[in-house]
Amino acid sequence: MLFRRIFFRWIQAATIVLPVWLVVGWAVFGGGGWGTLGLIITVPVTFISLAVIALLTSIRPTVRETRAVSWADVGILGAWHAAIVAFGFSGPAMASFAVLAIALALVAFWYAIVQLVRDGAKRMQEQMAEYERLAQAGSVPRTDAGGSPSVQQPYDLGEVIVVEERHRED
């Protein structure tokens, strides 16, 4: 549970850390002129995709309650983040890691959507079951201490003053 909670915090930090890593990796490991153009496009797209998926993951009811992601989240998001880190090394396999990072981003996005819908549906089913249970409990006739049905007395408001409005006709 501790690792999944740490990873929950990491997915928010990764929104900033991984795009910065792409810039640092380009500067350290050398990127050409085309690399600069690619970097100008890649960094904002990476930031936005990381932010959207972190948001979709964070708003899931089970993640909000436990402040921890699931093991499937750790696997999918961890693989995606590792592909982004590998892409930042700007080596000969950079194109392969770029394709892998894009594919894993799509998988992570759709996984986050599906999990959000499933958790929401599960939460709604639990709420409806509780509502049905309470509705059933409210329809049972009330009994007094002796077990015979009790008659519910109307609520007494006490003394009521009624003010009527009259219009004068001239």
pLDDT in tens, the chain (170 residues): 889 899 999 999 999 999 999 888 888 877 666 777 778 888 999 999 999 999 999 999 889 889 899 999 999 999 999 999 998 887 777 888 889 999 999 999 999 999 999 998 998 898 888 888 888 876 544 555 555 555 556 667 778 888 888 888 76
Q: What is the pLDDT of residue 56?
A: 94
Confirm whether 116 is domain-assigned: yes
pLDDT at 157: 75
Angle at 79 between CA 74 and CA 82, to 5 degrees: 115
**pLDDT for 38:** 78
pTM reported for the whole predicted model: 0.72
Q: What is the DSSP string of 109-145?
A: HHHHHHHHHHHHHHHHHHHHHHHHHHHHHHTSPPB-T
> Is 26 a member of any domain?
yes
Using alpha carbons, select from 133, 79, 144 the residue that is nearest to residue 108: 79
* Tokens (6 digits) for 88: 């930042």
User: In this structure, is residue 155 part of a structural domain?
Assistant: no
pLDDT given at position 140: 44
Whether residue 97 is contained in a domain is answered as: yes
Domain count, the chain: 1
| Residue 73 belongs to a domain | yes
What are the tokens at 38? 């690619």
pLDDT for res 160? 83
Beta-bridge mates of residue 149: 143
Domain span including residue 22: 1-137
The predicted pLDDT at position 9 comes to 93
100: part of which helix (H) or strand (E)? Answer: helix 94-138
Q: Are 134 and 128 contacting, i.e. CB atoms less than 8 angstroms apart?
A: no
Residue 94 is assigned to a structural domain of this protein? yes
